[in-house]
Structure formats: structure tokens, C-alpha cells
């Protein structure tokens, strides 16, 4: 059975690239360009992993990480945060993500990080 990944990215070009690469690597992928009711989206799509950008309209990726990790039904789901911000500005202690990947990122390293969290 394919592992499922929920990708939250408002840049449709980046989202499309990530989706295509992950599908190529045999993941089931759902892409969202919005942050509306993220917990309900997670309950609907039931992802094995969430990959989110930091800079998003509405709710930033850090808040998404906090919400996922502080909700009983979703706190077991690994979260990868990607961002063009420096890691020092996006503290693990504040947001509780599992892995941080800076933009621009190497797609192979992204796939390696996903495999690390899902295996």
C-alpha cells in the first residue's frame, strides 16, 4: 500500500513539482494551496506524513505544525517543514516539526527525509 503525503504549498509551481516527484517515488499525494481547517483536511485525507511550507496565507507552517502535534488525533503524524527562512528563525521548540528542510531544497534529500520518517 502506498504511503500518503499531504503537501501544503501555496506556490502552485512548487506544489506541482513536489507532487510529481513524490508520485514518481511511489507515494500517494494530496496537494493543498490553503490552510483552511487543516485538522479536518488531515482527518479527511489521512496522510502518513504532512509536508508544509512555512510562508502560507492564513496560517503559517509553524502554526500548522503546532496544531497537528497538539491535536490528539493527529499528533503521531510526522511533519516536514520547508522554508526559505533561516532555521534559526523557525525554532523546533516553537513549532515541533520532525524535520526542517531549507529552500531551495535538493529533491533527493527531500525524498530521503520522507523515507526516513516513514520507515
pLDDT digits (tens, 9 = 90+) for 27-64: 999 999 988 888 899 999 999 999 999 888 888 888 99
**Secondary structure of residue 55 in the 3-state scheme:** coil
pLDDT digits (tens, 9 = 90+) for 63-116: 999 999 999 999 999 999 998 876 555 565 678 889 989 888 899 999 999 999
Q: Which pLDDT does position 93 carry in this prediction? A: 62
pLDDT digits (tens, 9 = 90+) for 72-81: 999 999 999 9
Measured CA to CA, the distance from residue 27 to residue 65 in angstroms comes to 21
Tell me if 87 sits within 8 A of 102, measured CB to CB: yes
7 closest CA partner among 50, 62, 63: 50
Q: Which residue has the higher pLDDT, 104 or 5?
A: 5
Q: Which pLDDT does position 90 carry in this prediction? A: 58
Tell me if 49 sits within 8 A of 3, measured CB to CB: yes
Contacts of 105-111 with CB under 8 Å at 24 or more apart are 107/17, 107/21, 110/18, 110/21, 110/51, 110/80, 110/82, 111/21, 111/22, 111/25
Measured CA to CA, the distance from residue 47 to residue 22 in angstroms comes to 13
Check whether domain 3-118 has CATH 3.40.50.2300, yes or no: yes
- The domain segmentation of the chain, as residue ranges, is 3-118
Amino acid at each position: 500500500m502506498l504511503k500518503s503525503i499531504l503537501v501544503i504549498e501555496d506556490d502552485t509551481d512548487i506544489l506541482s513539482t513536489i507532487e510529481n516527484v513524490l508520485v514518481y517515488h511511489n507515494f500517494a499525494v494530496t496537494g493543498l494551496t490553503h490552510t483552511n481547517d487543516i485538522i479536518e483536511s488531515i482527518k479527511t485525507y489521512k496522510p502518513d506524513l504532512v509536508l508544509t511550507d512555512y510562508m502560507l496565507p492564513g496560517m503559517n507552517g509553524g502554526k500548522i505544525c503546532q496544531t497537528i502535534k497538539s491535536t490528539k488525533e493527529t499528533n503521531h503524524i510526522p511533519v516536514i517543514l520547508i522554508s526559505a527562512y533561516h532555521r534559526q528563525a523557525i525554532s523546533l521548540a516553537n513549532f515541533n516539526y520532525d524535520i526542517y528542510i531549507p529552500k531551495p531544497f535538493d529533491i533527493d534529500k527531500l525524498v530521503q527525509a520522507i523515507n526516513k520518517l516513514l520507515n
